[in-house]
Structure formats: structure tokens, C-alpha cells
Structure 1
Amino acid sequence: MTLENQLIKKMFYETLMEADEKNPVRVLGEAFLAGHKDGTADISAIRFAQGEVYFHNKDYEAAIFKWENVHNDLKPWAKKNIADCYYELGQLSAAEEIYQSIETESRVLQSEVALQLFSLYIDQGMLEKADEVIKKAVSFHPDYPNVTDIARAFFEKHNDWKSAIELAVNEAIRTESHHWFDILKTYAEQGFTNIFEPQYFSKCLTVLYGADQTRFEQLVQALWNGYKNGRSYFSWLREFNRLFLHLDANREQSWKELSSLYQETYFELIDGTYLMKELAEIIPNLLTNWLKIADRSHALFASAAVLAWSEKFPSSMNPEVVNDAEHLIFHSRNETDGLEYSLTLFDSIVKWAEAQGVEPGHRFRWLIRELVDFQTHHLLVAGISGNGKSAFINAVLGENILTAPTSSVIVFKGDEETEIRKIADEELTTFSSFHEFQEAVDRRLNKAFDNAMIEFSLPSPILQENRLALIDTPGFGEGEALTYVYFADSLLFVLDANDPFTEKEQEILMQIRKYAPHLPIHFLLNKIDEIYDEQEATRIVEDTRSQVRAYFPQAKLFAYLSHVRSRKQQNDLAEFLRNLNRPIAEDDRIEKIFIFIRKLIRHLLDKRAEMENNLSESIKWNEEMVTKLSGAIHQLTDLKEEKARMLTRTFHKVLEEIRSDLSENIPEILRGCSDLIQEDSDFRNIHLELNDEMNRRVHAYVNDKILPKAYRSLQEWIVTANDELNHCQSFLDEMSDGFHAMYGQERLKLNGDFQVLDDWLRDADRMTSSVQMEKMNIFLRRTPYQILLKSAGRLFGAFQQNNAILYNKYKQFVENEDYLDVAESIINKLLLPFELFAKSLERDISLFFRNPLAVLNETVEETKKEMKEKEEELEKMRANPQKFRDPLTLFEVKLRQYEWMTISAKGVL
């Protein structure tokens, strides 16, 4: 046992004892006494040893006393032991103070002190200090026994994964021990390492690569999966691929797991989730490294990915890497299911497009579904106008279906029941009748080529028995008719025996071969029965066959009698068609699927541009509509004010006529009451009689004359008002029709509120019905002359001789009084309801226009809201166009990768 180990275990006292001694207390006591007497012994060493013995026997006070008197080289150890005593006695503060006061150059003692302090802090629950002291212990003496294990256990127990990972990384780099690399891998697998930036592990990985390739691959895989889908994932991909690029890894080594991880990651990156600016600096190095280590099962994918990416982004890939990929792809096993990959790619594009709010179209779905049907042979029947193509198709189908030039591609399929469907990008439509089908495809009714196609299923023995689908196109060069060349498995070109294989026909066929160089092309020589000389007909057939085979050596030719319906010809034709129906190669159909996937990508880009244009046009249209609607609101407001002024003015005219009649006639009626005064009248009460009679006559005049006339005038006014409001409604109807034409639907219902007329009629009846007028003091007013007359009547009325005087005075007064104030008072009371009615006219007319104005204002607000939403949508689309285009670019890269894989299977460039 070394001296340091003896000091650590407090067994130094054994060096002062003989081997057979059993009582260290006695031996050390005798040695201390002897040394003290002669002065030759190291008293401090003996005291140190005695302290150890006392410590082991738990006599801590004696031990402390001994160690306090040690003054030789063992003094630092003695102080440490004193602190241990206080620790055992539970005097932790004293122990801590002494531990911290120890000064020594011994790394062992420093480590022991640190570990004791660590334990002391743990006991006190002082975790921060414990963390600090254990990290110091590891930093200055990591090789000290158990110090790193103690530190790791402490970090793990308290979930301090940052410190635990730092410890593992540092120790792995320092010791290159598999143990620490395995610990780090465990941390990575548990997801703890992603709290560090990826470059933190670069040195560690470099060291491990040189030490153990298998463990390197395992650790990389653990770190990779830990960073996946996290905030530092792209940083990891950049950092690791930069690091791995400079390591001498190659395909001769076994990198199966890492190669698989590269493939998985690559496909995840180009699945449409990320933008090109995020991938531009990642993909090239990732592909370079993948190609560098790709095993046999991944070599095809890696090389195809490199070639596809380099074609799309030539400057991003090293030419040597591209050359390596070109060599590798034709020496790789192709055991992939190309059909599954192509369909998966198509489905992923469709789902992505739908998530972006872009409809990929029913037509593409239909085409792909039909291409997956390997039991049906798609025969495209073509020919220039006048060659009898439609008649031939009708003959094959056994029905007169094609009666006029068509504007749509039609696919005829054999089935048990007849069903006709129009397959457009936007919708699927099933025709309810044959007539409806004819109207939809007749070019005379539909001048423009319709990109939608027709699926015509019908019972047809020749189609069903031969598993054929006939494709009829309106003509090549129109719309997307040429697209269906890619859909066809073979082409039957109809020639006219009277003028076969013309230059125009050759041009069309060359164009078809340019688009589809591998499409089998065969010919039907139609109208051969129109050649009356049999030898001439035979010559034409042979000459045509020679001409055709000069261009198409594998082509078959069938001479067809267009005017003859014989069983033999039908059987020969069926046999001819059966011979065209060669087994369908899966690779051929996969290539066709690839073509339509590429067209789908182009279609989606066009749809995006169309959406932007539609939004822009919609915004512009909405702006115009807001202007028109606002103008309509101003028009209605002006019309409302005009009608209010006009109807109010005419009503006031009626009112003035009534007022004029009352003002003119009431005074006359009152003066006419003078006939009540006679010479023999009782002048003491004549004033009362006159007042009663005046009230009666005025009341009778109002009810018998004024109110009937007012009723007639109001009815005439209401008729006028009704005409005016009807004119207003006509104007509103015209306005509605105009907006309906602009909107293309009945969106605005501008109906005036004619309830106001009913209200006016009711008010007119109420105002012109019998009036119960309150009795007025017409002749009982307190004017001086009236007072004088009434007083004179009472005073002199009893004397007969005074009657003549009173008679003349009363009669003169009644006949000469102007009664204007009386008349005005009566008029004001009588016409008060009419005045109130007049004041409400403006409000009533506003009620008539309230609904139309509300509808227009609401439509303006809705239009502005819609316009704002579309402006925001358009701004969003234009602000970030790459969000839509980049995924399509990546889909195109993936498509090209699959095409390369298919090419490699055929061994052709």
C-alpha cells in the first residue's frame, strides 16, 4: 500500500509497528515516550499515527488533540483528518472551515478534501456548492479513483443533464474510452443531448471515428434522431455533414444504419415541408456523404438523388460526385417497387395541394387510376378529318355515337351498363341522357376545345372481350389532345385509301413520335371498298404498307371496308385489335405515371398563377362594385330627399287650401249669425244664444264642408304619393336588375316599404272623420264693446222701449266684427293633426327607402370585407411565393430521382 493510500485510509500508523504487534496504542505510546526522552524520533509522525488510532476508535477529541500538534510534512493531512473528526461529530461548519483552509500541492489530498466537502454539502442539502466542488475535483484530477463516477451519479440523480453530458464528452475525448462514448450514446438516445448546439459534439465524433467506426455510427444515429424535428435539426445536418465530408469514410466500409438514416432524412427534407433557402446549404453535402457511404441497398437511391439534384441545381454539386453517381447508378441493384413510389409521390402531391387550397383536379386522379389498371389496353384512335375515324369507332362500338365533330377527348370503355361521365378538373358530372352528352361534345355547339374528358362506358363485346379502351380526340394540336398520347398504350391511325399516308398525316405522326417515341403505332386503311378495282386495291394496300413501314417498321396495317358489314371483317378486326393488345409492361405504365405527375406539377403552378390573377381581378371587380354601390346609395339618398320635398310640398298645398277656406268662410258664418237678433229678442240673454249658435254653425260647417273636402284632397294626394313611390320602386327594380346582371345572381332585393301608404290612409281617415270641436267663447270674449253690450242688455233689456236701440247695436256689432282671431284659433286647433302629419312625412319617406339603403350599405361593407380578405390573401401569396413553388420544385426533384431509378433498371441513358 502506498503512503498516499495509507494516509487516505488513516493507516499510516501501521508503518510504525512491527508485523506481529497487536496493540497500536501501547506501541505508539512507548515510541512517543522514547522519542520525547532522547529527542531522536519524529514526534509529529508519532502524534499523527496516534491520531489515526484514536480516530478508528472514535475518540475524536484525542485524535484532534494529537493532529493539532503535528508540525511536519503531514500537517496538511492532519488538518484534513481534524476536519474529518468534526464531520463525524456533526460539527459541519467547523469541518467545512478547516477543509477550505487546507493548502497543499498534493493532488491526492486536494481530491480527498474535495470529495469530503462534496459529501458534507450533500448532507447539508447545499447542492449548488456540491455541484461546484465536484466539478473542480473532476477538472484538476479526473483520474482520481471514482471521482468521475461520483460526479456522473450526482448529475444524473439531480437531472443535471447538461453537466452530465459535458462530463461524458470531456472524458470520452480525454480517455477515448468506449465506456464514456456508450454513456454519451445513452444520453443521446434519451433525448438529452439536444440541449447543446450540434458543433459541441464535433471533436468527440472525430475522436470516436478514429477509435471505433461501429460506435461512431451508433452515436451519430442517436444524436441525429435526438435533434430530429427540433430547433437545432438543420444546424445538426449542416455541422455533421461538414464534419463527415472530411472524414475518409467510403462504400467499402459498412455504413448500413447511417446510409439508411441518410435516405430517410433526404426524403423527409424534400417532402414539401421546407423551403429551398433552408435546404440549399444542406442537401449538397448530405447527398455527397450519402453517396460516399451508400451500401448496396441504398446505392440506387443515393446515386439517383445526386443526379436529380444536380440536374435541377447544377452548380450545387461537385462534378466528381456527379460522375461517381452516374457510374454507380448503372451498377446498382434495382429491387424497388417503382409503381408504389410513383403512386406515393402522386398522393403526396395531391394532399399537399389540397392543404394549400389548390384543387389538383379530378382529371389527374382519373388518369392515374386508369394507368394502374394493367388489364386494360388504351388504344388511341387518330386520323385527320374526313378519313372516317368516327364512323370506324361507331362500327367497333356497334352504335351510332359519334355523329358530329367533337370538342372533348372521349374514352370508350366496355361495361355492363351505360354510363357517361364528364371528368373536369373542378368536378365530375354524370350525364342523364345521350342527348345531354351530344350537346356537351358537339363542336358545333362548343367552339373551344374542352380540357375536360368524357368517360363513356357501355356494353361492347369487342371492348370487353379484348380488354380495350378506345380514346377519341378532337384533333392533335388542339387544347390538350396531344396529352393523351402519353396515356395510350398504342395508337391506331386511320388512313383514307383514296389518298393514304399524306404529307400532313406524316407530319402529325412525326409529331406524335416526337412526344412519345416508344408508343407502338399501327394503321387502319379505311374505305378500301371504295376502290372498285380489286387489283388496284391490293396495290394500294401493299404500297401503303411499304410506306408506313419505312417510318414505322413494327407497324401493322389493317384494310377496312367502311361500307361493308360482314361477320368475317368483324372477326378479322377483332383479331387485329387482339394482336395490338400486347402485355402491358409495368415500367411503361410507370413512365406514363411519371409524365402525368410532371404535368400535375405544371398544372398546380398554373393554378397558382390563375389563383393570383383571379384574386387580383376579384379585388379590382370589388373595387368597381364598391364604387357602383356607393353611387347607388347616393342616387337613392338624392331620390329620397327629392320625393320628401315634393310630397311635403304638395301636402302643404292641400293644407293651405283648407286653411284658406276656413279663413274665408268662418268669419262670414259668424257674421251670418246676426239673423238670430230680432227686435223682440231677450237682450238680457242674447249674447249666450249668439255664442251657442256661432259654435253650432262653425261645427256644422267643418263637419259638413271642410272635412269631406279635406278627405278628397288627401285621397288625391295619397294617389299621387302612391304613383311617386311606385316610380321609386321601379327605379329600385331596375337598379336591382343591373346589380343582378353584374353579380350573376339575385343578390340584392331592393324593396321599398309600402306600409307607409297604409299608414297615410289610416291617418287620412282619422284626421277627416267627424270632429268634436270644443265649445269656444266666440261672443263671450272680454272685449270692451262686448262687455258694454252685455251690460246694456241686462240693464235696458227689461224696458221694451230700449229694444230697438239694443237690436241695432247688437246687429251692427255682429255684422261688422272681423272675427280673425276667432277664425285663427279654430283653424289652428282643427289643422293641428294635419301639421303633425306634415312634419312626419320626411321620416315616413325615409322609412320607404330604409330597407334598400340598408341592403346597399350592407353589401358595400360585405364587399369591402371580402376585398380586404382577398387583398390580404394576395399579399400573402405574393410576399412568399416560394412557399408554394419550392415544394413543387422538390416534388419535381423527387420525380426525377424516380425517373433515374427507372432508367437504371433499363440500363439506358
Structure 2
Amino acid sequence: MSTQFVLYKGIILPLFHMNTKEVVVIGGTVMTIEGQLINKSYYQMYINEHENVQPIRVLGDAYQEELQKDLPNLTSIRFAQGEIYFHNRDFEAAIFKWENITGELELWARKNIADAYYESGLLSNAEDLYLSIETNNLTLKTEVALQLFSLYIDRGKRDEAVEIIKRTIDLNPDYPNVTEIARSYFEDQQDWDHAIELAVNEAKRTGSIDWFETVNTYVKKNLTKSLNPNYFIQAIFELYSLDKSKFEELTTSLWKSYKDEESYFTWLREVNHLLFNLEISRNDHFESLSEFHYQTYFSLINGDYSIKALENLVPDLLTNWLRLTVPKHTVLVSAAVLSWNELFPTSISMSIVSDAENLISETVSNIDELEECLSLFEAIIYWAKANDMGENNHLKWMVQQLNDFDTHHLFITGLSGSGKSAFVNSILGEEIQDSPTSSLVMFKDCEDLNIYEITDQENVQLADFTHFQERMDRRRNALESIIEFQQPFPFLYEQKLALIETPGLNRSYQDRYEVLQYVQMADTLLFVLDANAPFTEMEKGVLSQIIELAPDIPIHFLLNKMDTIVNEQEAIRIFDETKSKIQSFLPESQVFAYSSQYERGQQLVELKGFIESIKDTRNIADKRLAKLLFFIRTTISRLLQKRIDVENQLIESVRWNEEVVMKLNGALNQLKDAEAQKIKAITRSYRAIKESIQNEISNTVPKILQECSELIKEDSNLSTIHIELNEVMNNRLQNYLEQEVMPKYYTSLQEWISRSKEEFEQGQEFLDEMAEGLNSLYGEERIKTECDFKVLDDWHRDTDRMTSRFQLEKVNVLLRNTASQFLLKSAGKLFGALSQNKAMLYNKYKAFVKNDSYSEPTEIVIERFFQQFELFEKSLERDITLFFRQPLKTLSEAIEESLSQIAINQDILKKMNTNPEMFRDPLTLFEVRLRQFEWATIAGKGVHTIY
């Protein structure tokens, strides 16, 4: 055997070649001719007997000897000489020798020439020559391919390298180390797809455990999780018959890798189908596979998936789990099969169901049922909270109390007036309650005073005893709270007891149920009777209801108020008769005579003995477990009903909000109409005042100006009279406007503001009535329609400021350039000093001043008078809008809020109706888990479930 060493990426890999072709023996070593050709050791055939002579000399002598023959054949000698030159790195001489080779060695010589080019660094020449070699010799073809593979790596031709090595594996996979070379290359390049493909294919082809372990290595490194699970099924199927331990290891590795991937369900279907078709049994001891089935099953039924997604998956999963389960899972998987089959009949084959029934009846349960049930309860509560189904604090509190196995729960109830609270006070040693209780109260021993109020929505610690008394005095919604009262209670500490006192049961059947729904918390029930009227028909009715709700809870009686009986003989008679009636109704019940007025020490001693006698501590854990199962079932039923209630609430909320939106829109439109009406009324009122003042000014100003004609005298200087008159006219206009018009205008504006206030008050009154109607719809003071009366203050301030003083800008009454004035002024300047013309001009001027209409100056005066009021007038509409702004905003926001709530609720309803299983399926799966635990409990403990 000859050994060839290949250097790949710094790693020396051995290649072993052994062919059935021609074999030669050289120096005692067996070697094939192909092995010599591969190693370029063909020349050794010539020097086998001349080991101490230089090979080149030996071959030279052989060459000369061959030349002496008549028909010399120098091909093999030249081939061998080329090898010697190659080994001595005389590549040119080697190529020269190999170029003249013909016959059987020709293709090997061409391959060697390519090798020489490769070694010389002429990679392109080498590649071309390698590619030109066409042969049917599988060994030569493989060797050429391997050389091309190395060359492509050196030239950085990654795709070509991958292609040639894959083709080589397909062509000759058993060629020594070819798959190892490929694997090393793929791993070095981090080409995991090809590496995984190689490992899987080789594992299936060769059945080599090493290759299966290589696959498992890739899986554990999370390199395979993006591949379709079906890719590995055939491989692990074949591994099962080779090595069951390795089969389990690879299967669980794949299981773990797919767990958080989108293809997880595909993997579960594929592996279930595979396992279903394998001859597996519980004797194979597949510990890890059983554990993975356990974890997978419980993760599938935790409420995150729909039944539709599981109905074709879980039956096969459970079937396979039962077939391969290990002892610690036997009861659990059997219970799982039976519970699934109960809710989904015929989904699991009857042979598997029968097998599960036999196993669960024959196997001792090693399951911590309490822990499992608590886990289920927590899962349900977590789901309920995540799906807006409430905090369910009452249930959480009750389960927490059930888990306190060191404390015996004594449930104290009876009709109102029986003296329950007085009895509780007497044994607690102080006046805890000074009035009948209205809520369920648990009294527990504790080192410190702690008082908690538990509602379904929250847990609140009450500040002190006073707050506790306030809660006890409350009657409205009192049953919505549970009170837990903790402080040092020696009697409770000694007896390891917790007292649960209920409100009186003098109510209707449904009202009593609100109290008695907590009766399952009791380990023992103590029914308090009034010795003056014991064991009445009403009390029998209440007891019947209690027995119906909790048939397994022992009931005993306290005959209270015995001190009120007239004498001892009568007391004994009443006690005996009452006890006789009770035991004919409840034969196992005991009766204890009690009075809070008797000597307390002796009473407590006797009471302790009585309580010890009625405390049944046998199988307390099993009984509490049964109660826990009851609460889980109750929770599931409540949540199913709550889902219906939620849908109805959403529908009602949509309807109510639509009605609210309709009424709000009506109110908004009415408000806008009112706003428009007020804008119209108030602005019209203002403009009426303005028009009145305008008319007055229009009538008065011309008269004032005309009356100025009296100032024109015959001796007036007509050349300057127009200037003097213009001054006087402006003064008279200023006095008129400031002293007459402005005060009148001010008064009118104040009256207008008063009338506007009345308008605003009417508007506010209208809005208040509207808000009252809307708030009655809301049931609270939700809509506030307070208008902005500051607008009136702003108007007062603005009108005061604008009417406090007025300065008229001078008006050019007689200084304008009208034709008449121009002629009079010109004439006055020309002829004013001439007496013969003065009388005529005087008459003309006076007549002109007296008879002019003064329309233009009047308009100017009006314009200048109202100029400062223009901005005020223009802002009136804006101010009135500001007055109504807040109510408008409030109504608009309320509409948007209701519309938003409608959209949200409709979206939830759509999802609920489109996907009703979103709520139903998780609860159904929780019920599967519940039945499973009930099966396990029955198998392990013989405990009866409570329904």
C-alpha cells in the first residue's frame, strides 16, 4: 500500500489508494501502477535493484540500453525521467520529457505537465490543460478534479471550487478522503448549506455514525434551523436501525432547534409521522424523547394555539408519547390521552386509549398534582389577564388560602341574628366587630396587624382598624369585597385555625349563592343557630343549598345564645331536641352549646375540644387538591361566560356610544345654531345703535355747519373768512361729538352689552339644560358647557376706552377745492378790500355757508367718529364664537371619543366574530388539562373530583 499526502489549507491529509489493477512490488511494498502514477513514483520500477545509484543515472543507463534495440520503446523511460525532474523541481525538463509521451501514459503525462505548470505558478496554463484531459479512467478523472479543486481555491474561484468538489463526490464518493477534503473546505468557508448537505448525504449513503454525529454538531450550532424539517427525516429514519441512542440524540437536537422557528409545526408533523412508522416501544427507554413530548404537549395546550391548529397534531403526539414514554411520564401521558379523547372523541385510536386506561390503572402516580394544578391555574389567570378578562383577584386569593396546608379553615355561617359576630368576637378575645358583617371576612393569626380588602380588580391594604369598621358598616356592593384580617390571635394560633365568617344568609337563593360560592374554601363548616328558634325550615333550606354546593364538607352546629334560655332544664331540652333534629337531617354532625355570656375561660377550653373533634385533618392535601380542581373548573366556566358577557358588553357599548354620538351631534348642531343666532342678534343690535348714531350725526352736522353762517359779518375780512369759519366749524363739531354724541353712544353701548349679557345667559341656560340631559346619559358629570363670560368684560373695557375721549381730526369744511369754494375764496382775495364789491360777496358767502348740504364733510365726520370702533365691530363675531368655544370643544371631543370607542369595540367584535375560537379554544384546552389532572389525581390518590 502506498500513501499519498495532500496539503490542504495547512492540513496534511493522507490519501490511501489500492486498486485491483496491475500490482507491482517495489522494495517489499505492494503498490498498484495507478498508485505509482498518482504519486509520480513510476520511476521506482527501474531503480528497484539499484537503490544505491542516483535515479537519474539509472534511468540514463536504461535509456541508452533501450536505444540499442532494433525497435526501442522510450515512452516509459521518458515518463519516469520526467518524474525525477519534477521531484527535483526541474519543471522545464520534466515538461520536455512528458510532452513526447504517447500511448497509455499519455493522459497521465498531460496531467503531470499541468501539475508542473501548477507548481511553476502558471495557473492559467495548468487550468487549461487539466480541463483538456478527457478520460474514462475514474482514478485519473478524480485526480484531475482534485487538482482543479486546489487550483480554483488558489485562484479564488469559489463557485468553481464548490462545483468541482461536489461533482467529484457524485462521481467517486469512496475515493480516499475526498469527502473529508470537501467537508474541511466547506467548514473553512463557513458554507454551511453545502457542509450540511454533504454530511446528511454521506450519513445516509455510508451509514457512518461519524457522519451522523457531524450532522448533530451542525444542528446543535443552530446551523440547520432554516432548512425544511423533511430534509432530515430519511437520515434519522436510517439512524434508528443503526444506533437508537444516536437516533434519540439527533432527533431531540433537531426538535430543540426548530422549537422557536416558523417551521416548528412542520417538524412536529414530520417527526410524529416518522415515529408512528417506527417499531418503538417503552422498552427502548427514550428518556429525552419522552421529555420533549412532555414539554411540547404542555406548550401546545397552554392557550396560545387554536384547536384547529392542534387537532391533527396532538393525537399523533400523544400516541407516540404513550408508545415511547418512560416510567415518570406514564401516568401523565395516559391522563393526557384520556382527557384529550374525552373532549375530542375518536381523534386517538381506541387501542391507544385502551392502553392508556390500563397503564393509568396499573401505575402508581409520581406526579406532584398540586404543583401541576397550581401551574394550570396560574396559566388560566395569566391568559385571562392578557385577554382583558379581569384580574380575578378573588380566585387568586382563594387558591392562595387553599395552598396554606398549615391552617385549618373553619367556615362560620348562619342566619342573621344568630349571634355569629358575637361568637367570633368572644373567641378572638376582643370586639373586632360591633355590627353584623356585610362582607366575607377571614381572621388569621399574624405577628402584626394587617387588614386587606380584596376585590376582583385590586388588593388594598386598609390603613387601620377604623377603616375596617367602615368597610364592615358598608352595605352597598359589600359582597364584592373579601376582608382578610390579620393580627395576633392566641386562640387561632393554638388551634392552627383561620375563621371565615360570612354575612347572614336571610336572603334569596341567588343572594345566598353570592356568599356560598366561597364555601369550597372550608375544611369544616360551623353553622350557628339561635337557641331561641333553632333549626328552622329556612335554616334547613340554607343547609340544603350548602350540601348541594359542597357535599363533601363536614357540617357541624353551634347552638348559640344559651344564656337567654330561662332555666337549665329548658336549656337541656332545647339542646337535646335540636341535636335530635340535626342528626336526623345530618347524622354525622355534632352540636356545641355556647354563650358569649358564660365564663370565657371554661367556654374556650370546651370549644377547643369541640373544634379538635370536628377537625378532619385526614387527607387534607387531597381534599384541598379536589377543591383546587373545583376552582379551576369554576374559573373556566366563568371565563367562558365572561367571554359572552364581554361580547354583549361590547355590543351594548357600541349601541350606547352610537346613541351618544347621535345626541352629541344633535347638541353640537343646536349649539352651532345658537351661536349663529347669537352672532346675528348681537351684531344686528350693535349695528342698529351705530346706524342710529350715524343718522343723528348725518342730521345734526349739516345744521351745525350751516349755523356758522351767522358768524359772517359785513365787516368780516372776506379774504380770510373761510379759514376762520373752518376753525369755528371744527370746534363746534368737536364739542358736539364729544359732549353729546359720545355720551349717548356710550350709554347705548352699555345697554347693548347688558342685552348681550342676557343673550349669553340665555345661551348658557340652554347649554346647561343640554349638558344635564347628556350627563344623565353618561351617568356622571362628563359634559361641562361653561361659556366664556370674560367676553363681556372685554367689551366693557374696550367701550370704556374708546368712549372716554374723542378728538376729531380737523375737517376741511371750507378749505376744499370745490368750484363754489374756489370762486368765493378767489373773489374774497381779489375784491375783499373793495367796498363796492364787499356787500355782494358778503351776501354770496353767507348764502353759500347757510345753504350748503355739507354731505361730504358729514361723511368724513361719521367715518372719523366710527373709525376707532371699526376693529371692535369686526371682532364681534369672533368674540361671540370665543364665548361658545369651550362647549363646542367639549362636545367635539366627546363625539371623537365615542367614535373612537365605537371603532375600537367594533374592531374587537369583528375579531371575535371572525375568530370566535380566539376565546373559546384556550379555555377548551385548559379544560383538557384540568381533566388530565383529574385523571392523574384519581389514578394516584383516589380523590373524587368536585362538580
Question: TM-score range, shorter-chain basis?
Answer: 0.7 to 0.9
User: Tell me, what secondary structure is at the counterpart of 2:412?
Assistant: strand
Residue 293 of structure 2 is matched in structure 1 by 262
Asked whether 1:3 is paired with 2:37, we answer: no
Residue aligning to 2:611: 577
Are residues 1:769 and 2:805 paired? yes
Name the counterpart of 1:469.
Answer: 498
2:141 aligned residue = 110
Equivalents in 1 of 2:92, 2:690: separation in Å? Answer: 128
Q: Report matched runs for 1:177-192 at 5 Å.
A: 177-192=208-223
Flag the 1:47–1:649 CA change in 2: closer, same or farther, 3 A.
closer
Q: Counterparts of 2:117 and 2:823 in 1: how far apart (Å)?
A: 133
Report deviation, 1:574.
2.8
- Cα deviation 1:819-859 (Å, max 9, x = unaligned): 55555554444344456644443333233333433443344
Equivalenced residues, count = 906
- Three-state SS of the structure 2 residue aligned to 1:720 is helix
Query: In 1, distance between residues paired with 2:732 and 2:819?
Result: 22
1:464 is displaced (CA, Å) by 3.8
CA deviation map 1:169-209 (0-9, x unaligned): 22222222222222222222222232421212222112211
- The residue number in structure 2 matching 1:480 is 514
Partner residue in 1 for 2:555: 521
CA, structure 1 residues 451+820, in 2 after alignment: closer, same or farther (shift >3 Å)? Answer: closer
Secondary structure at the aligned position of 2:518 is classed as helix
Q: Measured at CA, do residues 348 and 797 of structure 1 come closer, stay the same or move farther in structure 2, by a change above 3 Å? A: same
Aligned residue in 1 for 2:879: 844
Q: Pick from 475, 478, 481: which aligns with 1:452?
A: 481
Structure 2 Cα separation of the partners of residues 415 and 659 of structure 1: 90
C-alpha RMSD of the superposition: 4.0
Paired residue type of 1:759:
W
- Of 753, 761, 783, which residue of structure 2 is paired with 1:718? 753
Moved more, 549-558 or 574-583: 549-558
Letter in 1 for 2:517: T
The CA distance in 2 between the partners of 1:79 and 1:805, in whole Å, is 146
Gaps of at least 5 residues in structure 1 are none
Question: Corresponding residue for 1:632?
Answer: 667
Paired amino acid for 1:135: K
Greater displacement, 740-749 / 304-313: 740-749
| Preserved CA contact (<8 Å) 1:410 1:453 | yes
CA shift for structure 1 position 317: 1.9
Residue 314 to residue 863, structure 1, CA distance change in 2 (3 Å): same
- Letter in structure 1 aligned against 2:479: D
Q: 1:101 to 1:499 in 2, by over 3 A?
A: same
The whole-number CA distance in structure 1 between the counterparts of 2:651 and 2:696 is 68
Q: Could you tell me how far apart the structure 1 residues matched to 2:82 and 2:847 are? A: 156
Counterpart Cα distance in 2 of 1:809 and 1:9: 147
> Given residue 852 of structure 1, which amino acid in structure 2 is its aligned partner?
P
Specify the SS of the correspondent of 1:105: coil
Partner residue in 2 for 1:427: 458
Does the Cα contact within 8 Å between 1:690 and 1:779 map onto a contact in 2?
no
Tell me the distance in 2 between the aligned counterparts of 1:618 and 1:76: 90
Query: Following TM superposition, by how much is the alpha carbon of 1:877 offset from its aligned partner in structure 2, in angstroms?
Result: 5.0
Q: Shift of residue 466 of structure 1?
A: 1.9
Structure 2 counterpart of 1:650 = 685
CA contact (8 A) 2:322 2:330 kept: yes
Residue 357 of structure 2 is aligned to residue 321 of structure 1: no
CA distance in 2, matches of 1:466, 1:367: 21
Give the alignment partner of residue 83 of structure 1, picking from 114, 129, 132.
114
Map Cα deviations across residues 606-631 of structure 1 (whole Å, 9 max, x no partner): 44544444444444444333333333
Which residue identity lines up with residue 347 of structure 2 in the other structure? Answer: S
> Distance between the aligned counterparts of 1:506 and 1:241, measured in 2?
58
Change over 3 Å in CA distance of 1:107–1:785 after alignment to 2 = closer
Residue of 344, 358, 371 corresponding to 1:340: 371
8 Å CA contact retained: 2:409, 2:521 = yes
Please say if residues 729 and 752 of structure 1, whose CA atoms lie closer than 8 Å, have aligned partners that are also in contact. Answer: no
Confirm or deny: 8 A CA contact 1:694 1:778 kept in the other structure: no
Whether 1:159 aligns to 2:193 is no
Closer/same/farther in 2, CA of residues 96 and 779 from structure 1, 3 Å limit: closer
Q: State the 1:425 CA deviation.
A: 0.5
Cα pair distance change 1:792/1:93, threshold 3 Å: closer
Instruction: List aligned pairs for 1:588-603, cutoff 5 A.
Output: 588-603=623-638
The answer to whether structure 1 residue 378 and structure 2 residue 409 are counterparts is yes
* 1:752 counterpart = 2:788: yes
Q: CA deviation at 1:701?
A: 3.5
After TM superposition, give the deviation of residue 239 of structure 1 in Å: 0.8
Shift of 1:742: 4.4
Q: Give the secondary structure class of the aligned counterpart of 2:483.
A: strand
- Aligned residues of 2:438 and 2:472 also touching (Cα < 8 A): yes
**Identical columns (%):** 45
| TM-score normalised to structure 1 length | 0.87
Q: C-alpha offsets along residues 865-885 of structure 1, whole Å, 9 cap, x if unaligned? A: 454445445544554454444
Sort the Cα spacing of 1:796 and 1:136 in 2 relative to 1 into closer, same or farther, 3 A.
closer
Whole-angstrom distance in 2 between the partners of 1:466 and 1:867: 57
Partners of 2:87 and 2:713 in 1: CA distance: 158
Change (3 A) 1:660 1:183: closer
Q: Contact between 2:753 and 2:792, CA under 8 Å: does it hold in 1?
A: no
Match of 1:4, as an amino acid?
E
- 1:899 lines up with 2:934 in the alignment: yes
1:542-581 alignment runs, 5 A limit: 545=579, 548=582, 552=586, 554-560=588-594, 567-581=601-615
1:58-95 Cα shifts (integer Å, max 9, x gaps): 45455445544444434433333333333333333333
Instruction: Render the CA deviation track for 1:637-688: whole Å, top value 9, x for unaligned.
Output: 2222222222233333333433343344444444545555667777777666
Match of 2:236 in 1: 205
2:757–2:792 CA contact under 8 A, matched in 1: no
Pairwise CA distance, 1:256 = 1.7
Q: 1:833 & 1:20 partners in 2: Cα distance?
A: 134
How far apart are 1:906 and its partner, in Å?
1.0
What do the CA deviations read for 1:89-114 (whole angstroms, capped 9, x no partner)? Answer: 33333333333333333322222222
Could you say if the C-alpha distance between residues 249 and 552 of structure 1 is closer, same or farther in structure 2, counting changes exceeding 3 Å? Answer: farther
Alignment of 1:251-400 (within 5 A): 251-384=282-415, 389=420, 392-393=423-424, 395-397=426-428
Summarize deviations over 1:402-427 as a string: whole Å, max 9, x none.
Answer: 77776533323345666654311112
Query: Residue 573 of structure 1 aligns to a residue in which SS?
Result: helix
Cα offset for 1:309? Answer: 2.6
1:722 aligned partner, one-letter code: K
What secondary structure, in the 3-state scheme, does the structure 2 residue paired with 1:644 have? helix
Report if aligned partners of 1:419, 1:430 keep a CA contact under 8 Å in 2.
Answer: yes
**Deviation of residue 718 (structure 1)?**
2.4
> Measured at CA, do residues 677 and 35 of structure 1 come closer, stay the same or move farther in structure 2, by a change above 3 Å?
closer
Q: Deviations 1:777-796 (Å, cap 9, x if unpaired)?
A: 34988565995699489858
Q: Letter of the aligned partner of 1:269 in structure 2?
A: L
Following the alignment from structure 2 to structure 1, what is the Cα–Cα distance between the partners of residues 937 and 840? 140
Residue 587 (structure 1) shift = 2.7
In structure 1, how many angstroms separate the alpha carbons of the residues matched to 2:343 and 2:60? 93
Residues 47 and 734 (structure 1 numbering): CA distance in 2 closer, same or farther, change over 3 Å?
same
Q: Mean Cα displacement is larger for which, 301-310 or 146-155?
A: 301-310
Distance in structure 2 (CA, Å) of the matches to 1:696 and 1:195? 101
| Equivalent position of 1:702 in the other structure | 737
Cα contact 1:683–1:794 (8 A) shared by 2: no
Decide whether the 8 Å contact of 1:749 with 1:855 is kept in 2. Answer: yes
